[in-house]
């Protein structure tokens, strides 16, 4: 069952991470990925992943937000969501420090 669950989640999680972390995609593609995630997560995602997604998505700042503290907090919630997805797929996060995953794509994260 665990293997089936992970098979169902892997592609969806990879797409979520790519589309939501700056990969250029049309809004329609983003909507399709979000819908796929929501449908599969209802059945296959762990409670931790669902809660992390909700915590992040409920507080995403709008593009006009200029306060770096708001963007930093949102980035860390997003990182928590990605870590939860990784955990669902059996990938450990134990040695990752806060911000390690964000720094992959945001060079100036430590300046926020």
Please tell me the distance from the alpha carbon of residue 79 to that of residue 101, in angstroms, as a whole number.
Answer: 6
pTM for this model (two decimals)? 0.84
Torsion of the alpha carbons at 48, 38, 23 and 55, rounded to the nearest 10: -40
Distance between alpha carbon 67 and the CA centroid of its chain, in Å? 21
Distances, alpha carbon 33 to alpha carbons 28, 44, 56, 70, in Å: 9, 16, 16, 25
Q: Which residues of the chain have pLDDT under 50?
A: none
Q: Given this model, what pLDDT does residue 98 score?
A: 94
- Nearest Cα to Cα of residue 72 among 99, 37, 100: 99
Q: Residue 1: its pLDDT value, please?
A: 82
């Amino acid at each position: 069952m665990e293997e089936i669950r992970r098979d169902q989640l892997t592609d969806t999680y990879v797409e979520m991470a790519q589309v939501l972390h700056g990969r250029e995609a049309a809004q329609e593609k983003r909507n399709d990925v979000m819908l796929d995630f929501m449908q599969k997560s209802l059945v296959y995602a762990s409670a931790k992943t669902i809660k992390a997604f909700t915590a992040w998505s409920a507080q995403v700042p709008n593009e006009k937000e200029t306060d770096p503290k708001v963007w930093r907090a949102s980035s860390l919630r997003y990182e928590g969501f990605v870590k939860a997805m990784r955990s669902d797929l059996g990938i450990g996060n134990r040695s990752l420090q806060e911000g390690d995953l964000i720094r992959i794509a945001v060079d100036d994260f430590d300046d926020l």
